[in-house]
């Protein structure tokens, strides 16, 4: 019996997908729940598994973009796997018969090796190579091979030719000019064209949409990371032992952002038609760079999680992203986004909004800088932070105050634990 393999429905707004890679070969026998292929949508990669045992027939190749629900292959439960092709037999190469030696031409003079010059110059490639490399004169070497031919041993043991005497130097003569080596041809015309993946096309569309449909501004501040770094250093081992995850900085920033969103709800709102929609829940998107492009998995109801719960969610998303197993539901429903360019060394940036959201927090590299503390210059670990916001929804005062609230939470991290 034959079973069709179809592109699954992966989201209400997704109408097509690109076949990423077939994990099994055409004609191969597969088992139920084996991964057959990966499918790239405009949001994530999805794996399609076999629903039955059978022999695979592929009808749509990797790289093809097909509508959702399309049949891309089949499984035949009664079929037999294609036999592997037998390895080709290696035929033993027979050495070519040596050509008969030609008779010496009349009147030719024999060389010191006792062989006619025509035979003397008939060298094997290996012998000719040694003669050339050593700069020898074959006519002066005695051959010990058949009919007096030169062998590798003959030319290898032959004395090296005498070096020509170096010309006398003229003290007054100028050094010889160095030759001008011409540059190679310009590589300006070299190009490589690669079709955009479905995810990359969607990213491009959304970035342009964000720039064209929002009134985006960015405000900046800087945060002294001393207290949170001391807290992390003090408790990270016990934290890892108890919760099984590392104590990073992102957990603190998520909790600080939630407190700021509570204080300034417009940052957690969006425009729908002529209305402002205020979200009374906190789904925090975490921008993650992957080989296929940027994705933003969402920590749902992050306000109900402890810092350990937030860190565990981030770890799980990282593993899923690495393995290409981010689900569509993981990417939906975000109300606010955090992006961390600092992991790549970014010192400052202006993040782009993730529509329909009205705010995105950008984190950056921690660097030691000289700052004034109580009238004294001290070196502190500092981080620039940026809030990009939709000015149609959020006023400048709210945006600046939001960022100050995040700063206060990170610089006094204990207050995050008691939510004040």
pLDDT in tens, 36-47: 988 887 667 788
**pLDDT for residue 294:** 77
Please, what is the average pLDDT of the chain? 83
Identical fold, 2-76 and 199-418: no
**pLDDT for residue 154:** 77
- Tell me the per-residue pLDDT of 173-184, one tens digit each, with 9 for 90 and over: 667 777 776 666
**pLDDT for residue 13:** 62
Residue 323 a catalytic site member: no
Nearest Cα residue to 290 out of 67, 23, 20, 37: 20
What is the arithmetic mean of pLDDT over 330-349? Answer: 93
| Catalytic residue chosen out of the listed positions 147, 323, 329, 395 | 395
Residue 391 a catalytic site member: yes
Task: Give the class (CATH, top level) of 199-418.
Answer: alpha beta
Domain boundaries, the chain: 2-76, 199-418
pLDDT band at 298 (very low <50, low <70, confident <90, very high): very high
Higher pLDDT pick, 160 / 283? 283
2-76 maps to CATH 3.90.1170.50: no
Is residue 198 pLDDT above 80, yes or no?
Answer: no
% of the chain surpassing 90 pLDDT:
46
| Catalytic residue chosen out of the listed positions 118, 237, 391, 412 | 391
- Tell me the per-residue pLDDT of 20-75, one tens digit each, with 9 for 90 and over: 889 999 999 999 989 898 888 766 778 888 989 999 999 999 888 888 889 999 99
Is residue 121 pLDDT above 80, yes or no?
Answer: no
């Amino acid at each position: 019996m034959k079973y069709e393999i179809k592109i699954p429905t992966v989201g209400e707004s997704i109408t097509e997908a690109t076949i990423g890679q077939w994990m099994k070969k055409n004609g191969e026998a597969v088992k139920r729940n084996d991964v057959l292929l990966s499918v790239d949508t405009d949001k994530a990669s999805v794996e399609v598994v076999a629903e039955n045992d059978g022999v695979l027939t592929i009808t749509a190749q990797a790289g093809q973009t097909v509508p959702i629900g399309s049949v891309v292959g089949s499984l035949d439960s009664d079929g037999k796997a294609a036999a592997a092709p037998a390895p080709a037999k290696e035929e033993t190469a027979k050495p070519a018969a040596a050509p008969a030696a030609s008779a010496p031409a009349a009147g030719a003079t024999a060389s010191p090796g006792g062989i006619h010059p025509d035979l003397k110059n008939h060298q094997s490639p290996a012998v000719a190579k040694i003669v050339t490399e050593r700069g020898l004169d074959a006519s002066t070497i005695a051959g010990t091979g058949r009919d007096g031919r030169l062998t590798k041993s003959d030319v290898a043991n032959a004395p090296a030719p005498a070096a020509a005497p170096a010309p006398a130097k003229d003290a007054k003569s100028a050094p010889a000019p160095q030759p001008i080596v011409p540059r190679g041809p310009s590589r300006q015309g070299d190009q490589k064209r690669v079709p955009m993946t479905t995810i990359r096309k969607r990213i491009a569309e959304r970035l342009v949409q964000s720039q064209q449909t929002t009134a985006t501004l960015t405000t900046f501040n800087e945060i002294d990371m001393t207290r949170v770094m001391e807290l992390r250093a003090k408790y990270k081992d016990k934290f890892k032992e108890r919760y099984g995850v590392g104590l990073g900085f992102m957990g603190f920033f998520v909790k600080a952002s939630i407190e700021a969103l509570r204080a300034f709800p417009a940052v957690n709102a969006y425009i729908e038609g002529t209305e402002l929609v205020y979200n009374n829940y906190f789904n925090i998107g975490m921008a993650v760079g992957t080989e296929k492009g940027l994705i933003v998995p969402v920590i749902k109801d992050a306000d109900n999680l402890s810092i350990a719960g937030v860190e565990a969610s981030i770890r799980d998303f990282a593993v899923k992203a690495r393995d290409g197993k981010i689900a569509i539901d993981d990417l939906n429903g975000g109300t606010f986004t955090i992006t961390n360019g600092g992991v790549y060394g970014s010192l400052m940036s202006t993040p782009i909004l993730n529509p329909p959201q009205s705010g995105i927090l950008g984190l950056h590299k921690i660097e030691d800088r000289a700052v004034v503390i109580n009238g004294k210059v001290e070196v502190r670990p500092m981080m620039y932070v940026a809030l990009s916001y939709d000015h149609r929804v959020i006023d400048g005062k709210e945006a600046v105050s939001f960022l100050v609230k995040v700063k206060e939470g990170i610089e006094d991290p204990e207050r995050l634990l008691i939510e004040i």
